[in-house]
Amino acid sequence: MDGALTVGQVADELGVTVRTLHHYDELGLLVPSGRSAAGYRLYTAEDLQRLSSIVLYRRLGFGLEQVGELLVADGAARIEQLRRQRDEVRARLAQMTGLVDAIEHALEAEMTQRPATTEDLRAIFGDGFGEEYQTEAQERWGHTPQWEQSRQRTAHFTPGRWQEIKDETEALEQAAAAAVREGVDPDSPHGREIAERHRESIEVFYDCSHEFQVGLAQMYLADPRFTAHYDERQPGLAQWLHDAIVANAAR
Amino acid sequence: MDGALTVGQVADELGVTVRTLHHYDELGLLVPSGRSAAGYRLYTAEDLQRLSSIVLYRRLGFGLEQVGELLVADGAARIEQLRRQRDEVRARLAQMTGLVDAIEHALEAEMTQRPATTEDLRAIFGDGFGEEYQTEAQERWGHTPQWEQSRQRTAHFTPGRWQEIKDETEALEQAAAAAVREGVDPDSPHGREIAERHRESIEVFYDCSHEFQVGLAQMYLADPRFTAHYDERQPGLAQWLHDAIVANAAR
DNA sequence: GCTTGACCCTCACGCGACGTGAGGCGGCAC
DNA sequence: GTGCCGCCTCACGTCGCGTGAGGGTCAAGC
């Protein structure tokens, strides 16, 4: 019996914890063959053999109760259990594969439905969406109620929403440019329609009365950067848009 | 508040159990917005919204604590967590794939190392391994200590072991048949060597003294079925083997 | 008004395989 | 003798509920 090992030695040998050995002892799954005078558990080579079987079956995912059954079962029963276990693990495997897909799905949804980040905006609007402009705009209008309202609303805009906004602005400006080229009167039904569409595109951000819109129109003529933006697309567009907005506001 | 639902209704609606709702309430994960006079939990549409998020995240495999964090996290943090969860699940997936392989491995080992069944024996020895022979053999020798010893030993023989035994028997008989064809003297070193090899092939089953082996040799001549078995392979083999065994026993 | 049955409430233990101390004894080297 | 490591026996914690026990509530039918 001098070959008998204590819990710590067995634990090191087989890669389990001491607590695990205690646990198996409690359950009667692996009761050490002997005890020292002081009550130390003493494991023989046979015990180690049994433990290594237990460890093997545990690694295969069996519960302790099933491990106990496997140890006393004959070959045919063991094979049957192993097959069952394999099938069960395969089933869980399939279900986890589905889980990964579900997570991917949620991830994609989150990516598109989450409020847009600064990077998203740069990706959509290009690098022209620079910090300098942002800073200046904040200084100019940061104290207005419209700015505050816009800030609150856009905080929840998704990348998809921003893309829609860009598309609508683009379409609007193209329609206005076409009207200028075709010599459409700003104070015609079509001219006023475009002015109204412009107001709606602004109302996405904040409540925009006709009066406020007229103020914007005046700025488009007063601030050369706005004027340039419109006239680059179509010479005379800034003036035409201003006139249409004024005409629409006067009804 | 007339739109408020009780636990049972909510449970049906979202496919969870009443106990689960109690649990979430205890944890503070989903505290119903109201209680009836009698203390019934009352869930509003908002509560349902929150619950459906909880159910979603739970289905994605998050723990309840993480679900709580996800509910208050912003988009970026949620995405980060989803990614982490996906990676973790993928890792577990890989490890389960390994598990399946390990089980297959154990299964194969068990298949080949398990004691052979009657079907295994038929597969190895052919259908000549019939019940009639078995029954007669048991009647003839079932009471002998050799039979008992053989029974005990063969009970643990694997299919592989049986195959080895068959191969060795085959090789032995071929060697003996060749010796007969070549006119080898049974009482020569080579003849006695074959006799000794025969004895060893018997000792696989039970302890076989030279005297006992001589008894076997006599039976090979006395029982026409044994004689036929050997002489079919090589005329004169039964007699030759008998003589070699007798010579070897006499040293 | 009374019963019935379905629903709700609050405890509180159970599961599975150990982890993680707490409190105390044994063994061995200095 | 003393310090440290290893061993012992309780015994509670983990995680997400399941499953009663014991008892109120509510709407409907008699």
Indicate if B93 and B153 belong to the same structural domain. Answer: no
CATH of residue B25? 1.10.1660.10
Residues of chain A with pLDDT > 90: what percent? Answer: 55
> How confident is residue A1, by pLDDT bands cut at 50, 70 and 90?
very low
Residues A51, B72 contacting (CB under 8 angstroms): no
Structure tokens at B162: 């049986």
Those nucleotides of strand C lying less than 7 Å from any protein Cβ are: 7-12, 16-20, 25-27
Expressed as residue numbers, the domain containing A238 is: 114-250
CATH of residue A225? 1.10.490.50
- Whole-number pLDDT of residue A132: 67
Q: What is the average pLDDT score of chain B? A: 88
The tally of domains found in chain B comes to 3
**A125 pLDDT higher than 80:** no
Indicate if B244 and B165 belong to the same structural domain. Answer: yes
- A137 vs B19 pLDDT, higher one: B19
Those nucleotides of strand D lying less than 7 Å from any protein Cβ are: 6-11, 15-19, 24-26
Cβ within 8 Å of residue B73, ≥6 positions away: B81
Residues of chain B with pLDDT > 90: what percent? Answer: 57
Q: Which of A4-8, A14-18, A118-122, B152-156 has the lowest mean pLDDT?
A: A118-122
Average pLDDT over residues B92-110: 91
> A41: which strand partners?
A35
Give the containing element (helix H, strand E) for B41: strand B41-42
Indicate if A186 and A213 belong to the same structural domain. Answer: yes
Indicate if B101 and B123 belong to the same structural domain. Answer: no
Indicate if B45 and B152 belong to the same structural domain. Answer: no
Indicate if B126 and B230 belong to the same structural domain. Answer: yes
Indicate if B16 and B49 belong to the same structural domain. Answer: yes
Indicate if A207 and A220 belong to the same structural domain. Answer: yes
Average pLDDT over residues B106-124: 77
- Whole-number pLDDT of residue A243: 94
> B34: which strand partners?
B42
Indicate if A52 and A94 belong to the same structural domain. Answer: no
CA/C1' separation A45–C30 (Å): 34
Average pLDDT over residues A218-232: 88
CA/C1' separation A84–D19 (Å): 28
Determine the distance in angstroms separating the CA of B209 from the nearest CA of chain A, rounded to an integer.
33
Q: Which of chain A's residues have a Cβ under 8 Å away from the Cβ of B95?
A: none
- Whole-number pLDDT of residue A149: 87
- Residue B1: CB less than 7 A from any atom in strand D: no
- Whole-number pLDDT of residue B88: 92
CA/C1' separation A88–C18 (Å): 23
Indicate if A92 and A160 belong to the same structural domain. Answer: no
Average pLDDT over residues B33-49: 95
**A40 pLDDT higher than 70:** yes
54-93 of chain B touching strand D, CB 7 A cut-off: 58, 63-65
Indicate if A85 and A209 belong to the same structural domain. Answer: no
31-90 of chain A touching strand D, CB 7 A cut-off: 39-41
- Whole-number pLDDT of residue A137: 72
> How confident is residue B104, by pLDDT bands cut at 50, 70 and 90?
very high
What would the 3-class secondary structure string for chain A be? CCCCECHHHHHHHHCCCHHHHHHHHHHCCCCCCEECCCCCEEECHHHHHHHHHHHHHHHCCCCHHHHHHHHHCCHHHHHHHHHHHHHHHHHHHHHHHHHHHHHHHHHHHHHHHCCCCHHHHHHHHCCCCCHHHHHHHHHHHCCCHHHHHHHHHHCCCCHHHHHHHHHHHHHHHHHHHHHHHCCCCCCCHHHHHHHHHHHHHHHCCCCCCHHHHHHHHHHHHHCHHHHHHHHHHCCCHHHHHHHHHHHHHCC
Question: Model confidence over A148-190: pLDDT tens digits?
Answer: 888 888 887 776 777 788 878 888 888 888 889 888 999 999 9
Q: Which of chain B's residues have a Cβ under 8 Å away from the Cβ of A78?
A: 110, 114
- Whole-number pLDDT of residue B133: 67
Question: Model confidence over A89-116: pLDDT tens digits?
Answer: 999 999 999 999 999 998 888 888 777 7
- A179 vs B68 pLDDT, higher one: B68
Q: Which of B71, B35, B65, B66 is nearest to B51 (CA)?
A: B71
Cβ of B103 within 8 Å of Cβ of A61? The answer is yes
- Whole-number pLDDT of residue A127: 66
Count the neighbouring beta carbons within 10 Å of the beta carbon of residue A155: 9
**B216 pLDDT higher than 50:** yes
- Search chain A and give the residue with CA nearest B59: A99
CA distance A106 to A104: 5
Indicate if B224 and B171 belong to the same structural domain. Answer: yes
- Whole-number pLDDT of residue B1: 47
**B128 pLDDT higher than 80:** no
Q: How buried is A12 (Cβ within 10 angstroms: 0-12 exposed, 13-18 middle, 19+ buried)?
A: exposed
Name the residue facing A82 among B89, B93, B106 (closest C-beta). B106
Q: Which of B170, B172, B173, B154 is nearest to B162 (CA)?
A: B154
Q: What is the DSSP letter of B115?
A: P
Question: Model confidence over A13-24: pLDDT tens digits?
Answer: 999 999 999 999
Residues A46, A54 contacting (CB under 8 angstroms): no
